[in-house]
Amino acid sequence: MPDFMDLMNQAAQFKSKIESIQAELERMEVDGTAGGGLVTMTLSGKGDLRNARIDDSLLKPDQKEILEDLIVAAHADAKRKLETSLQEKMQGLTGGLPLPPGLKLL
């Protein structure tokens, strides 16, 4: 039977690692692009939109629908990159152990 104090130490280490990753997420930024770089969105590690850059060539009335589509695509690209990064960090934290679906540690 595992020593209770050993389990408590492991829990404290796990909590410390989670807090460290959460702090890292606050500093992390991920860029998503669309249209060959005409639109770029920057998301924080928590998924908040921090910046949007749009090439001047898209700022014409006849380019409105294209611009709207590129904004959505750039955001989706950034979100996908962020999710991939988060999965990698979680695998490092859990040692590759599968977590139950829906369990969010971050």
Tell me the whole-structure pTM to 2 decimals: 0.70
Strand partners, 49: 43
Quick: pLDDT tens for 15-55.
888 888 888 888 899 999 999 999 999 999 888 999 999 99
Residue 93 lies in a domain: no
Quick: pLDDT tens for 47-106.
899 999 999 999 999 999 999 999 999 999 999 999 998 888 877 776 665 555 555 555
Residue 100 lies in a domain: no
CATH label of the domain that carries residue 56 = 3.30.1310.10
The 10 Å Cβ neighbour count of residue 96 is 8
